[in-house]
């Protein structure tokens, strides 16, 4: 809680009144006819650049639905001070957060969740709670900030997220979680296939979970290119037939070399070179 330096008067008697029914009327003097269950009478509440905690307690009767905070006394009965000496007859106070809870109620500590690994381009949810009466503030090593309890994040590199959490009593706890980002947008090429017509492993099946585009060239042991294709068609052991050529187009058993050109999810170029065994 903090006052405003533009209005230099400061007071002591700031109180809280709980009621089952509203006491708001068109006549503001009505507030003076009630006695707050809690009233600060010990220290002046100054204006400053920081916030001052004012707290108290009372035993509820049950059914209280309304809370009014302010001064409940006539002006001439308030304890007023003007430490700045500036002219003025008004003052107002700013209330940051208000919390009402049962005595001895325990709050939950910050829990940012477990460290985990995700693939580049994927998102994940961090945090463990998202209570409306809690305050959450996340900061990340990449500069991102979040104000919800369980934000969804999509880091491009491994990132640590720091959670500062205030429970309903405004007790603050801190935790962190690290999301490790690895490259999953890669192609996996088997080292053998058997194009013998038994409908099992008849083609060179390239694992492509992220549907990347690519081109692949197949070369024989003498360095001659025998087949070219892309992600839309597999190599099933045939030789590339050029226009005007005829004859058997089955590649013989043996060792072949592949060269693949592709691009990752972030556009970076990818190249793969390797050996595949063709066995009929």
Query: Using an 8 Å Cβ cutoff, are 201 and 193 in contact?
Result: yes
Q: How many CB atoms lie within 10 A of CB 231?
A: 16
Boundary (domain end) residue, out of 68, 98, 128: 98
Question: Which pair of tokens denotes residue 110?
Answer: 């910050």
Boundary (domain end) residue, out of 146, 161, 182: 182
CATH of the domain at 241: 2.60.40
91 and 15 in a common domain = yes
228 and 266 in a common domain = yes
Helices (H), 52-143: none
pLDDT digits (tens, 9 = 90+) for 31-77: 556 888 888 877 777 766 666 677 777 778 888 888 888 888 877 78
61 and 30 in a common domain = yes
CA distances, 196 to each of 106, 125, 193, 241, 275 (Å): 70, 47, 9, 20, 19
pLDDT digits (tens, 9 = 90+) for 42-51: 777 776 666 6
* pTM over 0.85, yes/no: no
């Amino acid at each position: 809680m903090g006052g405003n330096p533009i209005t230099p008067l400061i007071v002591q008697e700031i109180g809280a009144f709980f009621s089952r029914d509203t006491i708001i009327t068109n006549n503001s003097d009505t507030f003076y006819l009630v006695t707050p269950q809690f009233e600060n009478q010990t220290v002046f509440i100054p204006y400053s650049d920081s916030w001052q905690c004012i707290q108290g307690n009372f035993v509820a009767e049950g059914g209280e639905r309304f809370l009014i905070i302010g001064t409940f006394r006539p002006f001439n009965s308030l304890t007023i001070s003007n430490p700045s000496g500036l002219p003025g007859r008004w003052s107002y106070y700013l209330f940051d957060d208000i919390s009402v809870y049962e005595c001895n109620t325990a709050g939950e500590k910050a829990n940012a969740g477990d460290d985990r690994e995700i693939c580049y381009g994927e998102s994940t949810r961090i945090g463990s709670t998202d209570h409306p009466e809690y305050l959450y503030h996340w900061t990340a090593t990449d500069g991102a900030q979040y104000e919800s309890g369980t934000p969804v994040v999509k880091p491009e590199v491994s990132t640590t997220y720091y959670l500062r959490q205030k429970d309903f009593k405004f007790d603050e706890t801190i935790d962190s979680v690290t999301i490790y980002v690895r490259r999953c947008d890669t192609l996996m090429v088997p080292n053998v296939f058997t194009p013998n017509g038994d409908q099992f492993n008849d083609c060179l099946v390239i694992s492509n979970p992220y549907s990347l585009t690519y081109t692949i060239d197949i070369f024989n042991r003498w360095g001659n290119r025998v087949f070219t294709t892309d992600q839309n068609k597999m190599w099933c052991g045939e030789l590339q037939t050029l226009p005007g050529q005829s004859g058997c187009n089955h590649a013989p058993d043996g060792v072949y070399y592949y060269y693949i050109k592709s691009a990752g999810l972030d556009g970076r170029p990818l190249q793969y070179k390797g050996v595949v065994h063709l066995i009929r």
